[in-house]
Amino acid sequence: MMPEVIECQEFEELSIRVSSLLKDGELQLDDRITTKGYLAASMRAGQITLRTTRFVGTIPLTPELSVRVVPRATISNLSYMLVRSGVIPSAISGFARGYMPRFVATENPERIYAMSLIEGMKLIARRGYMKEYLPPKNPSPWRGRLMASDTVRKHAAKGIRYKHEFEQNILTSSTVENIALKTALRQIVGWLEGNDRRNAILPEARSQLRELWHVAHWEGSKPDLVRQLARKIHTLSPRLPHYRDPLWSAYLILQSVLPELSFDGFVRLDSLIIDVSKVFEAFLRRELAARLSSHGYQVLDGNNSPRPFFRDGGIYTVHPDMIIKRGEEVVAILDAKYKPEPKESDRYEVLSFMDAMGVSLGGFVCPAEGADTSRFLGTTETGKQMILLRYDLAADDPDAEADLFAVNVLRMIEGEREFL
């Protein structure tokens, strides 16, 4: 029997009969649903009230009942943002029946995933390529470990005394994982050379492909490689976390698919949950960094390197989502807020960030809603200027929207009060 799916938006409340969550008199609601913040639960008038949070996706409550949380804002580019942000969805495992997004065919996956894969390959190159002991393609006779039982079974038992079986393994970087990465990079280079030779990514893709000179080519079929890669991703060692994102990108490139984030496919797999606010923040930071670098600016993640709140130290820190620097000077800070409008507490927070970091320019990035546009908010008595920038998550051309965002940030830095 197909499970019942209740649909609602982020930050909404829904009431569920307690009886629908009972089995043999015991509550089935999984503790991880509430302890990880996917839902907030309370009891009211004999019913369980669930409040959705910033996570979207299908959240299984029981094997027979789930809640499908959809974004409150129109985000037609969520799949694109997810890939470009580098954020990996959370998984709720252990359910006998779970949910997994379907995959939909897409044209030019090389263009969509190229940067994600290349950045991941740079990290792998720095940390080192994985290696395994594998049998050689052309084993040498009379070398390796003698396999006595196989020798007896295959030869000696038949009266053949001059043949023996040996096990030969060599340490090699030509693993399925590395071969898949190389194959995906070759696909990217081939597509760019044929369709977009002026793309600045092409030299980087070629460079990363040359780094894999020690990895063999795949000699089987692509579907077989994809099947083996899927198994390897599922069983990836915790000691190789730097491989996870690039392998995911390679899988999507080789499959030529995007994850369809409708989460209504019923299969026996884990349920994926997406923190949209985290995706929004990481996506904006990556897109802005890529576009401002040619103008001499760096865009850093303040959450990775929090600054002290007080000049003389202490335990309190500030951590803006985006720190914009030119050389060693911080010229502006931005905080991504996945909400229609920043609250008063948000304004005080950003002002405290600006004060602690000695910068006079800061503001917010919020999703565009209706006719809302980017605007100058005002100047404080101490000369601090605050701006609100809008980002259209439903833009027909996501690259053009990212370009517009970067232009507005440059206008902000240059002291403009009118935005595009």
How would residue 139 be classed by pLDDT, with cut points 50, 70 and 90? Answer: low
d(CA 208, CA 213): 10
The tens digit of pLDDT for each residue in 220-241 reads: 888 889 888 888 887 888 888 8
For the chain, give every domain's residue range: 1-70, 111-127+175-255, 276-413
The tens digit of pLDDT for each residue in 20-41 reads: 777 766 666 766 677 778 888 7
Compare 399 and 137 and report the one with higher pLDDT.
399
> What does the CA dihedral 72, 78, 83, 87 come to, rounded to 10 degrees?
0
Measured CA to CA in angstroms, residue 292 lies from 193, 295, 299 at distances of: 25, 5, 8
Q: What is the mean pLDDT of the chain?
A: 80
The predicted pLDDT at position 263 comes to 36
Percent of the chain, pLDDT > 70? 76
**Residue 5 and residue 58 in contact, taking contact as beta carbons nearer than 8 Å:** yes
The tens digit of pLDDT for each residue in 189-222 reads: 998 898 888 888 899 999 999 999 999 999 888 8
User: Which residues touch 21 (CB under 8 Å, ≥6 apart)?
Assistant: 27, 28, 29, 48, 61, 62, 65
d(CA 274, CA 54): 8
Residue 156: strand, helix, or coil: helix
Mean pLDDT of 340-357: 92
d(CA 273, CA 56): 6
The tens digit of pLDDT for each residue in 316-341 reads: 888 899 999 999 999 999 999 998 88
Q: Over 90: is that where the pLDDT of 287 sits? A: yes
**Residue 130 and residue 243 in contact, taking contact as beta carbons nearer than 8 Å:** yes
- Which bin fits 153, alpha (ψ -120 to 50), beta or left (φ > 0)? alpha
In terms of Cα–Cα distance, which of 393, 295, 318 is closest to 76?
Answer: 393
In terms of Cα–Cα distance, which of 265, 308, 245 is closest to 116?
Answer: 245
The predicted pLDDT at position 25 comes to 66
Measured CA to CA in angstroms, residue 227 lies from 231, 255, 343 at distances of: 7, 10, 48
In terms of Cα–Cα distance, which of 282, 232, 284, 276 is closest to 254?
Answer: 232
**Residue 245 and residue 88 in contact, taking contact as beta carbons nearer than 8 Å:** yes
Residue 233 identity: I
